[in-house]
Amino acid sequence: MGERERALLEGIRSRAKRSAALRVAIGDDAAVLALRSGEQVVVTTDFSLEDVHFRRAWHPPEAVGHKCLARGLSDIAAMGARPVAAFLSLAVPKELTRAPKGKPIWPAGKGQPSWIDRFYAGLLALADSCQVPLAGGDLAESPGGAEARAAADIVVVGSIAPRRALLRSGARAGNLLYVTGSLGGAAAELRALTQFPDSFRNVTTFSTDHPHFFPQPRLAVGRALVARRLATAAIDISDGLSVDLEHLCQESGLRAEVDAAQLPLHATATIEDALHGGDDYELLFTAPAGTHMPRTLAGVPVHRIGRMLRRHTTQPQMVLLHDGLRGPLLSAGWEHF
């Protein structure tokens, strides 16, 4: 291990919070976690790649770190699980470990913080607020010289009681379709970012005013859905409502009908943003028609936006009701390839 890597790891180790569940953390071959008796393990991994998921010129490093962890926590929320620990594999170009003027600053506070220091600050702030310890990971230098790009893989391990996880496959014909919070705000903010990137340089701390930079994983909502047995299926809206609803339809073997008038649009969003924008990290879930659904869960508004129906050979998998018309809703969000 080089001096630089050792200093980085010591810095992370000293800043990462411990928890009762974390029996062995950073500094061994692997971490050891103790779950509550009888609970099962929930695991998710998500890549955050420079120039795919974020741009160094556009996104403050704090926001990159926040969203990196938020993506993993959102998957845990969609299962209705409790997060236990996070692991980060991070590859960064060497220059991102140095202060902007070339002076290495980790772990002490000399000069300006480096990109990686600010990335960890954003990630650990969210970890702290969600009480999820950073329990390990990997750290490497990205290859490629001046062309090198940062790549972060976040792993979140959670736990849940047996047979209680909210799956994509649990929806039944006749179930109503719900969504949390509001839709399209992240897409609208991304549009503004592409037009006026300089206006967003100082978006470095969490604020609900910045849904693209600082999405909030709906952990408390997911756990409330499980605890109160309110939902039959759930998925998080990371790729866009149309894409993620299609996943729900496919895994449940159903079709869906969405009422555009019921979509909870973010104040800045269009219907297109809400349907196809992606990055909202709200929960999309289903419940039997007879369920008394509260108007808020864990303080977050819940809106009914449609229903699930039996598949039909002459009907499209997803239908949008809009201005009194019925039309096929095509999935048109984020494409990984």
Q: Find the binder of its own copies among 15, 149, 172, 304 (CB under 8 A).
A: 149
Q: Which residue has the tokens 């403050």?
A: 60
Nearest to 115 by CA among 90, 78, 79: 90
The encoded tokens of residue 21 equal: 């569940």
Q: Give the Cα separation of 125 and 313 in Å (integer).
A: 49
Q: How far is the CB of 3 from its own copies (least distance, A)?
A: 8
Which residue, 280, 278, 335, 325, is CA-closest to 303? 280
153 is a contact residue toward its own copies (CB under 8 A):
yes
184, two tokens: 């399209």
Q: Binders of its own copies among 304-333, rule CB under 8 A?
A: 331
What is the C-alpha to C-alpha distance for residues 123 and 132, in angstroms, rounded to an integer? Answer: 11
Which residues ranging from 198 to 237 are in contact with its own copies (CB under 8 A)? 234-236
Q: What is d(CA 254, CA 8) in angstroms, rounded to the nearest whole number? A: 49
Question: Of residues 79, 230, 249, 258, which one binds its own copies by CB under 8 A?
Answer: 79
When the beta carbons of 146 and 267 are compared against its own copies, the nearer one is 146
Residues 6+ apart with CB under 8 A from 331: 240, 242, 243, 245, 246, 276, 318
Tell me the window of 35-43, 180-188, 205-213, 260-268 that interacts with its own copies (CB under 8 A): 35-43
Question: Does 38 help bind its own copies (rule: CB under 8 A)?
Answer: yes
The correct pick among 27, 100, 197, 328 for binding its own copies (CB under 8 A) is 27
User: Minimal distance in Å, beta carbon 301 to its own copies?
Assistant: 22
Q: Which stretch binds its own copies (CB under 8 A): 12-20, 71-79, 174-182, 212-220?
A: 71-79
The length of the chain, given as a count of residues: 337
Contact pattern from residue 44 through residue 63 relative to its own copies, giving x for each residue in contact according to CB under 8 A and a dash for the rest: xxxx-xxxx-----------
Place of tokens 């990055």: 279
Among 142, 204, 216, 317, binds its own copies (CB under 8 A): 142
Query: Pick from 243, 258, 260, 297: which binds its own copies (CB under 8 A)?
Result: 243
Looking at the DSSP bridge assignments, the partners of residue 47 are 153
Q: How far is the CB of 86 from its own copies (least distance, A)?
A: 10
Q: Of 89-118, which residues contact its own copies (CB under 8 A)?
A: 89, 91, 94, 97
Give the DSSP per-residue string, 168-209.
GGG--TT-EEEEES-BSHHHHHHHHHHH-GGGGTT--S--TT
Which residue's CB is nearer to its own copies, number 186 or number 188?
186
The residues in 250-269 that bind its own copies, with binding defined as CB under 8 A, are 251
Query: What span, in angstroms and rounded, lies between the C-alpha atoms of 274 and 240?
Result: 8
Stretch that binds its own copies, among 30-38, 59-67, 117-125, 182-190 (CB under 8 A): 30-38
Other CB atoms within a 10 A radius of the CB of residue 51 amount to 11
* Binding status of residue 42 toward its own copies by CB under 8 A: yes
